[in-house]
Copies of this chain bind each other. A is one copy, B any other.
Amino acid sequence: MTKYSFLDDYSEGAHPNILKALSDTNMVQQTAYGDDAYSQEARDLLRQHMGESNPDIWFVASGTLANILAISSALRSHEAVVAAASGHIVVRETGAIEATGHKIINVPPIHGKLTPKSITAALDANAHFPHMAKPRLVYISNATEVGTVYTKSELVALSKLCKARGLLLLLDGARLGAALSADKNDLTLEDIADLTDIFWMGGTKVGALFGEAIVIPNPKLREEFNFHIKQRDALLAKGRILGLQFRELFRDGLYFDLARHSNDMARRLSDGITKAGYSFVPETETNQLFPILPDDLIDHLKGHFDFYVWEPFDASSSVTRLVTSWATDEERVDEFVSEVQKFTS
């Protein structure tokens, strides 16, 4: 990998504070399976952002596991998930949710998002009971898989609908840091804890080696959740290293600083590409960018950088995907923009 990569936000290791904390605590003996002191400190730090909800918090190894746990612990076998057709659980988890026995009802997304209207339509089309699985949990991502974010009023509307219709609301926050640090964002972690039944926050994409934090505001969903974590093996014997990473991320706001850096780098890229005359689908809101570029420019850029060609746009241009991260080097961003502008002018 000699070319600079904008493929994803997990091509580097971890923020140095995390490596230092691992070193500093390495030979201290700690209780296994998440009952260690560092996980407790991390939970305390996270709960300071959650207001009254005082949620249960679990640190698990990865994101698909977080989705598996949230869904399979909450649902009976006849209950289904409602999700955008673009949702990570629909198109990037190798059928992991179905492998736990649950149907996912696909809803056409609007820029990666669900709306009360689109959910209501799915409920109406899935009401021939008991011949149809019962919709019971709504899955959303923030930021979405196309980098867009939910505003507070949008999330409030979803939450109201869910309560009115007896649906649980799960928010996949693999990139929640980027969402909460977006210019367009007006949500806080406290809002999210108030408006959802269960959500999780990614560490992997915000400077951790790995690890995600599952937060459970709804007390009913907390019951015997620990059994599920063990059954799916989402928690490590040395759970301390999960807790320690979140302690570092939330000690002095590092989590938000790193997410903001990735957004800043995305905006810098986005502004430069826009100046060169190109547009985006959808508009850039977080650290994923989807510029529409001429195929010959793409060929040129591929000589210097790694990034995805997402899908054809027309006969001579394509939608591409660039991702920035907590570790993205500003100089390389400027080089990319410079190559685009040179080629175009």
Where the two chains meet, the residues of A that have a C-beta atom closer than 8 Å to any C-beta of B are 1, 4-5, 7-8, 10-14, 16, 19, 22-23, 25-32, 37, 61-65, 68, 72-73, 76-78, 80, 91-96, 98-104, 106, 126, 128-134, 204-205, 209-210, 224, 226-233, 236-238, 240-241, 327
Starting from the known contacts A91-B126, A93-B233, 15 additional A-B residue pairs (CB-CB under 8 Å) come to: A12-B28, A12-B29, A13-B22, A13-B28, A16-B26, A62-B236, A77-B231, A78-B95, A78-B224, A91-B131, A92-B132, A130-B231, A131-B230, A204-B237, A210-B238
CB neighbours (8 Å) of A76 from chain B are: 73, 76, 224
Contact A210 B227 (CB under 8 A): no
Q: How far is the CB of A192 from chain B (nearest CB, A)?
A: 23
CB neighbours (8 Å) of A210 from chain B are: 61, 236-238, 241
* Interface majority SS (helix, strand, loop, mixed), chain A: loop
* Sample (19) of A-B pairs whose CB atoms are under 8 Å apart: A8-B237, A10-B32, A12-B30, A13-B28, A19-B23, A22-B209, A62-B237, A77-B228, A78-B94, A95-B101, A95-B103, A98-B103, A99-B232, A101-B101, A130-B227, A130-B231, A131-B230, A133-B231, A210-B236
With A26-B12, A78-B224 in contact, do A130 and B94 touch (Cβ < 8 Å)? yes
Contact A14 B29 (CB under 8 A): no
Residue of B nearest to A35 (CB): B1
Residue of B nearest to A102 (CB): B98
Contact A94 B132 (CB under 8 A): yes
State A73–B77 Cα separation when bound (angstroms). Answer: 7
CB neighbours (8 Å) of A93 from chain B are: 131, 230-231, 233
CB neighbours (8 Å) of A78 from chain B are: 73, 94-95, 224, 227-228, 231
Q: How far is the CB of A336 from chain B (nearest CB, A)?
A: 14
CB neighbours (8 Å) of A32 from chain B are: 7-8, 10-11
Residue of B nearest to A211 (CB): B236
Q: Which 4 A-B pairs have the closest CB atoms?
A: A64-B233, A95-B133, A78-B227, A95-B103
Contact A231 B94 (CB under 8 A): yes
CB neighbours (8 Å) of A240 from chain B are: 13
CB neighbours (8 Å) of A327 from chain B are: 27
CB neighbours (8 Å) of A230 from chain B are: 64, 93-94, 96, 130-131
